[in-house]
Amino acid sequence: MNHPGLVVPFAFLTALAGRFTLTRVGLDVPILNDVRVPLYLGLLLCLMLESHRIGPRRAAGAYCVLPVLGLFAYQILSSTWAPAHAVTGPMAGDIAATAFLVFVYYVLAKWDRDHVTRVTLYCFQAAAWVYFLAASTGRGHAPGGRWAALGGGPNVFVRVMILGVITSLYLYVRSGDRLRWLVGIPAFMFGAIASGSRGGMAALAITVGVALLAIRPRPRWNRLAKPGALLLVLSAMVTVTAGRLIADFVQSRFVEATVGQGYTSDRDVLFAWALRLFWQHPLIGTGINGFHAIADLGEGERYVHNLPLSVAAEGGFVGLAFLGLAWFTIWHAYIRAPRAERSLEARTAAYCGIFIGATCLFSGDYFDARLMWILLILAAVRSVPPRPHHTPASTGPAQRPAPL
C-alpha cells in the first residue's frame, strides 16, 4: 500500500502549533504573523501534490464526520445573531481552522488510518519529550512556578504530558513489551503534576476509569512484574531528586488551594454565567463569542472553559444537539467496526481523544478541542482497500442458444 509520507508529521506539527504567533519570538509580519496561515497553505499544497497517490479510496465510518462539520458550520452561522458588539471574526476563524484540520485528518484516515495514527502517536511521544525537556530548563513557566513550555500554558502542557504517558504505553505494547518505552512515564507524570492543572489530572482519572470499564483487565502478575519494577525504580529516582519540590507543589496547589480554600480559578462563576445565558437563550443561544460580550468578565475570562456549557450558552439546544450527534456518531462508527478491525492504533487514538475531551470540561475554547476531534476521527474512520475489478474470463466462442 502507498503509505503517506512526510505529510503526516507536517499535519501533526500544524495541529499542535495552535495559535502560535511570531510575536512570541520577537517578529511581527502582517498576515503571516499567525503561523496557521503558512502552515495550513503548506499542508493543503502537500495534500494536493499527494492526491494522485491517495487515489479513489473508500472509508468505513466516514458518516461520523458530517455531524462534526455540521456543528462547526452551525457555530459559524451563529455569528449572524451574536450581539452587535461581539467580535466574532477571530472565533469564526478558529472554528474554520478546526474544520480544516478535521477534514485533513479524515482524508489521511481514508488513505491509511493505521499508518497515519501510528506516526501521529510517535509524534506525540516526541513532542512530550521536547516539552518536558524545555520546561525542565525553567523557561516558559507560568506564574506560581507552574510548568509550561514553548509558549503554551500549563493546561496545554499537561495535555502533552499525559498524551506522552498514553503513547508510552502504546509503544510498549506494540513493541512486544520492550521496557525502554516505559522510561518516560515517571518524567511525564512529574511534568503533569508540576503543571498544577487540576483539570488535567481529573481528565486523566476520567480516562483511566473509562479504560478500566471498557477493557475490564485481568491482572497477569507475571507480565506486570518487570514493567512494574521498572516504573517503581524510576519513580523512586524522581522522588529522590525532586520529591520535595513536587510535594510542596501538591500541598499548596492541590490540597491547600483546592480543598482548603475552595479555589476554583473562577470556574464556578464561568459555569454559572454559561447556564444563565443558556436559560435566557435556550433555543439558538447567544451566538459565538456572545458569552464574552454579554458576561463581560474581563479579558482573562473570555470563554467558559467547558465545551458543552460553551456550546449551550452560545448555540442553545440546537448547538447541543449537533454536539451530541457528533459524539454519538463517532462512538457508533467506532463500535460498528468488527473487533478484528479495531487496531491497537485505533484504540489508543480513542483513549487519547477521550482524555482531550475530558480536559475540555475544565479548560480551553473551541479551537483547543481540535486534538479531540482529530483523534476521535482517527479512531472511528478506517480505510477500506479498493475493490478489485474482475474481468470475467472468456470460456470460448459464444454458443447460440438451443432452440426451444
* Residue 398 maps to a domain: no
* Residue 16 maps to a domain: no
* Confidence band of 394 (pLDDT split at 50, 70, 90): very low
Cα torsion angle, 287, 293, 299, 304, sign: negative
Task: Flag the least confident range among 225-234, 307-316, 326-335.
Answer: 225-234
What totals of helices (H) and strands (E) does the chain contain, helices first?
Answer: 13, 2
* Confidence band of 379 (pLDDT split at 50, 70, 90): very high
* Residue 193 maps to a domain: yes
Q: Which domain holds residue 129?
A: 61-384
Question: In b/e form, how buried is each residue of 261-297, taking b as 16+ CB within 10 angstroms?
Answer: eeeeeebeebbebbeebbeebeebbbbbbbbbbbbee
* Residue 403 maps to a domain: no
* Confidence band of 340 (pLDDT split at 50, 70, 90): confident
* Residue 307 maps to a domain: yes
Instruction: List the grid coordinates of 102.
Output: 478535521
Residue type, 46: C
* Residue 42 maps to a domain: no
Question: In this predicted structure, what is the pLDDT of residue 22?
Answer: 62
* Residue 255 maps to a domain: yes
Residue 404 has pLDDT above 50, yes or no: no
The model's pTM: 0.89
Q: Which DSSP category does 318 fall into? A: H
Mean pLDDT of 256-278: 79
Question: In this predicted structure, what is the pLDDT of residue 242?
Answer: 66
* Residue 321 maps to a domain: yes
Percent over 70 (pLDDT), the chain: 81
Mean pLDDT of 373-381: 96
Residues 126-143 have pLDDT tens digits of 999 999 999 988 887 887
Specify the number of domains making up the chain.
1
Question: In this predicted structure, what is the pLDDT of residue 100?
Answer: 95
